[in-house]
């Protein structure tokens, strides 16, 4: 067994079996996060139909989870440092499991959205602890093996989430329709809790000197909530005073958040990083690429189900080429391409994504809602390759000019930005899709694709400002 006397100190070598068990537990937690972030891409229309939630519920199902996760990720890491990673892991897994049960049994749209927010919040407490626990307990060689498994497992989870949703809904297990996609987390969460209680090393003392910027986190939360609520409410029920005021409040609180980051003793993002051109340009490219890509994936699912009248299961199969392209490109990028090509690989990924989107646009313009799933498959695969190359490499390349003592803050910042960008993209592109749907869903898909193409293209000049090369060891 291994005993920890203080954070980062390992007294004796952990048994090989126990080490692999800890890795399995961390991978389980991360897989749950990825699956729950993507599972509503397929399930949203069915859920909204059965709960009479309408467009508003469809728009909130994904962003509610991603918003809470993005705002609290950095805070979750700091809380783990302060109170101990084992304790926060157990709290996070317990809360995530309970929130999943509430989501699965929710009788109303409001309760389901609240449960999704709780899932994201407890997930933000859970996810950062796994990496910290591994860093403390694993040898350098074991860490290298662990990092090598994260890509395949999370890639399969990103594919498996939507596929699982499609099959579960089509199978209508026990007459529960979509509910088992959340209820399954109860079983997995209990397994994770039992494992965590038995095998995670105790570190109850923590580092009580660690500082959590609660004000900064609160300002960011109000910023994102104001912007997203205003966007969704305005696009759903009209641009009355309420959504306009909500967006205005979001902008004002963002200004307050920016000021707080400049003046706080322990800001969420290190000031030196914000002065790093390579990092800030990478952060901007990440925001644009992830928002556009996530929003596109969501509306493609809506178009297949609502426009082409594909079943949830057929929609899962229809999007399979895209997800396979995404996973394959991500593996290839992290397998050595990113180290050799640096920012050129980001540029290639964005260009390939644009080609795929343009291809789908041409097919929709030509055939409208009569386009077949097999006809779309090659274009979907190209989009997946482009998204996979860019999503996987932007955070790594952006760290090329960061110093070692900035790596932790930079990595945490990118994780939060990816989640927040996903929330923004899902809400924004879905809102555009529904706003443009009056003449028909083919028109809605065309407008959505044109917006995604335009926004993605705007990121190309910023890619040139990113560091030329990635760190020699992307995992550090």
109-137 helix and 40-51 helix, angle to the nearest 10 degrees? 150
Q: Is residue 3 part of a domain?
A: no
Confidence check: pLDDT of 8 > 50: no
Q: Is residue 75 domain-shared with residue 139, that is, in the same domain?
A: yes
Q: Is residue 132 domain-shared with residue 113, that is, in the same domain?
A: yes
Residues 6+ apart with CB under 8 A from 390: 289, 293, 346, 349, 350, 353
Q: Is residue 287 domain-shared with residue 392, that is, in the same domain?
A: yes
How far apart CA 380 and CA 384 sit, in angstroms, is 6
Of 162, 178, 209, the residue at which a domain comes to its end is: 209
Of 265, 280, 306, the residue at which a domain comes to its end is: 265
Lowest mean pLDDT among 23-32, 147-156, 249-258: 147-156
According to DSSP, the residues that pair with 10 across neighbouring strands are 4
Q: How many domains does the chain have?
A: 3
CB of 277 closer than 8 Å to CB of 468: no
CB of 322 closer than 8 Å to CB of 384: yes
pLDDT score for 220 = 83
Domain that holds residue 246: 214-265
Instruction: Indicate the helix (H) or strand (E) that contains 225.
Output: helix 214-237
Q: Is residue 232 domain-shared with residue 307, that is, in the same domain?
A: no
The model's confidence at residue 1, banded by pLDDT at 50, 70 and 90, is very low
Query: What is the per-residue pLDDT across 346-402, written as a single tens digit (0 to 9) for each?
Result: 899 999 999 999 999 999 999 999 999 999 999 999 999 998 888 878 877 877 666
Q: Is residue 250 domain-shared with residue 277, that is, in the same domain?
A: no
Q: Is residue 258 domain-shared with residue 407, that is, in the same domain?
A: no
Confidence check: pLDDT of 40 > 80: yes
> Which CATH number covers residue 291?
1.20.1250.20
Give this prediction's pTM. 0.79
Structure tokens at 256: 């307050």
DSSP 8-state code for residue 43: H
Highest-confidence segment of 68-82, 110-124, 153-167, 261-275: 110-124
157 or 115, greater pLDDT: 115
Q: Is residue 472 part of a domain?
A: yes
Q: Is residue 329 domain-shared with residue 468, that is, in the same domain?
A: yes
Q: Is residue 221 domain-shared with residue 105, that is, in the same domain?
A: no
The predicted model gives 98-102 an average pLDDT of 96
Query: What is the per-residue pLDDT across 181-231, written as a single tens digit (0 to 9) for each?
Result: 999 999 999 999 999 999 888 776 555 566 667 788 888 888 888 888 888
Give the SS3 label for residue 471. coil
Q: Is residue 327 domain-shared with residue 463, that is, in the same domain?
A: yes
Whole-number average pLDDT of the chain: 83
pLDDT score for 435 = 86
Q: Is residue 293 domain-shared with residue 410, that is, in the same domain?
A: yes
Q: Is residue 1 part of a domain?
A: no
How many CA atoms within 13 Å lie on the side-chain side of 88?
Answer: 29
Query: What is the per-residue pLDDT across 139-187, written as a single tens digit (0 to 9) for each?
Result: 766 766 666 566 567 666 766 777 788 888 888 888 899 999 999 999 9
Q: Is the dihedral of CA 276, 344, 387, 372 positive or negative?
A: positive
Q: Is residue 37 part of a domain?
A: yes
Q: Is residue 4 part of a domain?
A: no
pLDDT score for 207 = 57
CB atoms within 10 A of CB 91: 18
Q: Is residue 53 domain-shared with residue 176, that is, in the same domain?
A: yes
Of 230, 265, 300, the residue at which a domain comes to its end is: 265
Q: Is residue 398 part of a domain?
A: yes
Q: Is residue 131 part of a domain?
A: yes
Structure tokens at 346: 């980001």
Highest-confidence segment of 89-98, 255-264, 342-351: 89-98
Q: Is residue 205 domain-shared with residue 347, that is, in the same domain?
A: no
Q: Is residue 2 part of a domain?
A: no
């Amino acid at each position: 067994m291994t005993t920890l006397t203080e954070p980062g100190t390992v007294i004796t070598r952990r048994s090989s079996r126990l080490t692999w068990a800890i890795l399995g537990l961390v991978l389980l937690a991360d897989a749950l996060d990825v699956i729950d972030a993507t599972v509503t891409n397929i399930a949203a229309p069915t859920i909204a139909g059965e709960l009479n939630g309408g467009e508003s519920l469809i728009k909130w199902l994904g962003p509610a989870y991603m918003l809470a996760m993005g705002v609290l990720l950095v805070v979750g890491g700091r809380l783990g440092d302060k109170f101990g990673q084992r304790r926060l892991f157990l709290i996070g897994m317990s809360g995530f499991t309970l929130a999943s049960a509430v989501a699965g049994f929710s009788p109303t749209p409001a309760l389901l959205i609240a449960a999704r927010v709780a899932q994201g919040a407890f997930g933000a407490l859970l996810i950062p602890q796994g990496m910290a626990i591994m860093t403390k307990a694993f040898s350098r060689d074991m860490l290298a093996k662990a990092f090598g498994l994260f890509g395949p497992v999370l890639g399969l989870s990103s594919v498996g989430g939507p596929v699982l949703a499609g099959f579960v809904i089509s199978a209508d297990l026990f007459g529960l329709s979509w509910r088992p996609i959340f209820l399954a987390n109860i079983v997995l969460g209990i397994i994770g809790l039992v494992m965590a209680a038995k095998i995670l090393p105790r570190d109850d003392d923590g580092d009580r000197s660690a500082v959590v910027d609660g004000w900064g986190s609160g300002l960011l939360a109000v910023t994102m909530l104001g912007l997203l609520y205003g966007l969704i409410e305005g696009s759903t029920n009209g641009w009355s005073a309420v959504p306009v005021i909500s967006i205005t409040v979001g902008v004002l609180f963002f200004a307050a958040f920016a000021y707080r980051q400049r003046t706080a003793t322990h800001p969420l993002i290190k000031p030196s990083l914000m002065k790093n051109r390579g990092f800030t340009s990478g952060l901007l490219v990440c925001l644009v690429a992830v928002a556009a890509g996530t929003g596109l994936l969501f509306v493609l699912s809506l178009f297949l189900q609502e426009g082409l009248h594909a079943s949830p299961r057929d929609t899962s199969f229809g999007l399979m080429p895209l997800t396979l392209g995404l996973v394959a490109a991500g593996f290839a990028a992290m397998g050595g391409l990113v180290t050799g090509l640096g920012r050129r690989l980001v540029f290639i990924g964005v260009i390939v994504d644009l080609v795929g989107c343009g291809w789908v646009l041409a097919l929709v313009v030509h055939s409208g809602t009569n386009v077949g799933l097999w006809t779309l498959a090659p274009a979907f695969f190209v989009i997946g390759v482009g998204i996979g190359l860019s999503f996987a490499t932007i955070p790594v390349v952006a760290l090329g000019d960061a110093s070692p003592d900035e790596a932790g803050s930079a990595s945490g910042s990118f994780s939060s930005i990816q989640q927040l960008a996903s929330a923004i993209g899902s809400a924004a592109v879905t809102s555009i899709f529904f706003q443009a749907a009056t003449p028909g869903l083919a028109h809605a898909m065309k407008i959505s694709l044109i917006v995604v193409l335009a926004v993605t293209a705007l990121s190309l000049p910023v890619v040139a400002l990113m560091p030329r090369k990635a760190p020699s060891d992307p995992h550090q």
